[in-house]
Amino acid sequence: MGIRYCTVSTQDELEQILALQQANLWANVSPEEKEKDGFVTVEHNFEILHQMNEVCPHIIAKDGDTVAAYALCMHPMFADKIDILKPMFAEIDTVVPKEEKYIAMGQICVGKSYRNQGIFRGLYNAMKAHVQPEFESIITEVDAKNTRSLQAHYAVGFKELKTYFSDERDWVLISLK
């Protein structure tokens, strides 16, 4: 059947995103896994994930009924909803012109058994197709220690906007046009 890309349309898909997030959360993966496969930093709850999806549906890669990977769409109206992301939005305001409409990619994650199959690139292609022309760019940040994620983002065309320090970490703010 293969992987298909679509937007989230059910509660079950949101719950599968949360399960995939837990399996790849910074606190839940070994140092070796962090270096080899990367990790996710932010832990969402169902309510905020659902609210974000209502404004701009999240992009998922599905294998049958299984959510294999996801890219969370986070409209700037949610800038003050997740504490660890507040500094990212403040930094965006310092480098992105006020008139530029952007969507934040709130988090991207590919399940372990689906890695190295082009799904990361597929998620961003689907996201770009879904949010343009309403949004000119997709902006996100990556923990500077997450070299796997940074390399993957640069490979699909992201460009660095700036690096900054927040929450005891160095962050790389990046943009895809």
Q: Each residue of 113-162: pLDDT tens digit?
A: 999 999 999 999 999 999 999 999 999 999 998 888 899 999 999 999 99
CATH of residue 31: 3.40.630.30
Query: 1: pLDDT confidence band, cut at 50, 70 and 90?
Result: low
Strands laid side by side in the 169-176 sheet: 3-7, 59-63, 66-74, 102-110, 137-143, 169-176, 159-166
* Residue range of the domain that includes 130: 3-176
Span 72-77, average pLDDT: 96
pLDDT digits (tens, 9 = 90+) for 25-56: 878 888 888 777 777 878 899 999 999 999 99
Q: Give the total number of structural domains in the chain.
A: 1
Look up the pTM and report it.
0.93
